[in-house]
Amino acid sequence: MISYLIKVILCSGFLLAGYHLFLEKEKMHRFSRFYLLFSILFPFIAPLLKITRQATVLPEPGHMPLSFLPGNDTPGVASSSAIINWPLTGMLIAYGVIVLLLLTRFTLNLLSIRRCVRKYSPVAYRGARLITITGESVPHAFLHYIFAPAGTAETLLTHELAHVRQHHSLDILFVELVKTVCWFNPFLILYKRAIRLNHEFLADDSVLKGKSDVRSYQYLLLHNICSSGSISLASHLNFAITKKRLIMMTKTTSPLKALSRQLILIPFLASAAFLFATSVEAQQQPPARKAQLFPAGKGASLTELKEYQDVLQSKGTKIRSRNGFTAYELKDKAATQRIREIHQKMTFEQRKNAPQVLAGVLVDVKKPAKITPTATQLTQWKDAAQYGIWIDGKRVSNETLNNYQPSDFAHYSVSKLAKNAANYGKHYVQVDLSTPNYFEKVWKDRE
């Protein structure tokens, strides 16, 4: 999750840099408006895109407890429900508190506009609702309302009417809601500024298309600069009265240049998708090698079977897990030799319930009992920082568990990674899950 959020923030900055580089100085404001809104949404999608690359990996043996002696019960796997990530829980609580505070502030701003509408009597004005307010204030607009002091010039009202007709308030409300949920993204503040400046460009164009004199309009704007009485969610005249805006009124962009800028953005957006997408390895399992077992003997005694188990427990080391198998590695030469001697004495029936000797590694081939995970376990295994997930022998993303119910699995195993494991650090616990069809097929093939 943290890596996803980091990618969202970086992608937001990347796309905002593209706007300043290719679009901000050009007179193509409608396209720029679309690009800015798209650039707020796309960073949430880009990390979810997946780029698959092929990788061949060695098959990993699974594990199951030793159970070839009568009365030897299978020890249960320690429940992962006891693992609680307290730092993550604290971060989620802090995040929720901040979102609640920002949502409260957003609601209060909307209520202040509502009180202003109720305080004054709106009148119809060219398809909008004009509210005449008292005191010193610049004209501003929100949704279909125009707030302006008495005696406001018609040209300025036309400017605010453009904000109403082009629904600029919806853009601001959208950005504010995204900022409320993603308050940790500093680029959203810059996006809001860019969008509001773009709104002013669009409104200025609407006024000047009405054959207003550019120089007179500029003087009128400068004369009405005022910082009092504006509403944070509204569009108002004194926003970004800067050199950029005044220059933009007299600037022109040729259709060919506008088209070239738009075409440049195609590879730019493609590079953003490639940079911030998730890379996934499609694992190709090599063919499994068949084990060469010793011929069955006349039978081992109960004492020898007990010794067989004791040697495994004292000298053997469990290695990787997958699909209900257990593998024990024996590095002690004397113990390995003794295990081989007892194994050669075993009958076929005894070997069916005992780990088989495979060149210093013993693999239990007895079919384990079915065991279904709980809903709580499935929820906890979605934490990619702690758990690596394998389903039917294939590595999958933790989010894949959203597509499954506990009853979809016939068996699972949980094992902690050793510090020298290849994936140690990426996750610390490996979970292997088998669906019913896969579970039956694997054990049918093994038997």
Q: Tens digit of pLDDT per residue, the chain (447 long)?
A: 788 999 999 999 999 999 999 999 899 999 999 999 999 999 999 999 988 766 544 444 444 344 444 444 444 444 444 456 677 788 889 999 999 999 999 999 999 889 988 888 889 999 999 998 887 677 889 999 999 888 888 898 999 999 999 999 999 999 999 999 999 999 999 999 999 999 999 999 999 987 778 888 888 887 776 544 455 555 554 444 667 888 888 888 899 999 999 999 999 999 999 999 887 666 555 554 444 455 667 788 888 888 888 887 787 776 654 445 566 777 777 888 888 888 888 887 777 777 765 545 555 556 677 889 999 999 999 999 899 998 988 889 999 999 999 999 998 888 887 777 777 888 888 898 999 988 888 777 665
Query: Are β-strands 411-416 and 429-434 bridged in parallel, bridged antiparallel, or unpaired?
Result: antiparallel
Predicted pLDDT of residue 261: 92
256: in domain = no
342: in domain = yes
336: in domain = yes
For residue 199, which phi and psi values (nearest 5 degrees)? Answer: -60, -40
Cα–Cα dist 346/198, whole Å: 83
337: in domain = yes
Predicted pLDDT of residue 23: 93
Burial of 13 (0-12, 13-18, 19+ CB in 10 A): middle
Cα–Cα dist 353/326, whole Å: 13
Cα–Cα dist 126/136, whole Å: 24
**Residue type at 162 in one-letter notation:** A
Predicted pLDDT of residue 77: 42
48: in domain = no
Predicted pLDDT of residue 96: 92
356: in domain = yes
309: in domain = yes
| Parent domain of 356 | 302-316+324-363
Dihedral angle computed from the Cα positions of residues 112, 143, 206 and 122, in that order, rounded to the nearest 10 degrees: -70
Contact 257, 31 (CB under 8 A): no
**Edge-to-edge strand list for the sheet holding 140-142:** 123-125, 128-133, 145-149, 140-142, 235-236
Domain count, the chain: 1
Predicted pLDDT of residue 63: 40
Predicted pLDDT of residue 8: 94
pTM of the entire predicted model: 0.57
333: in domain = yes
Predicted pLDDT of residue 53: 67
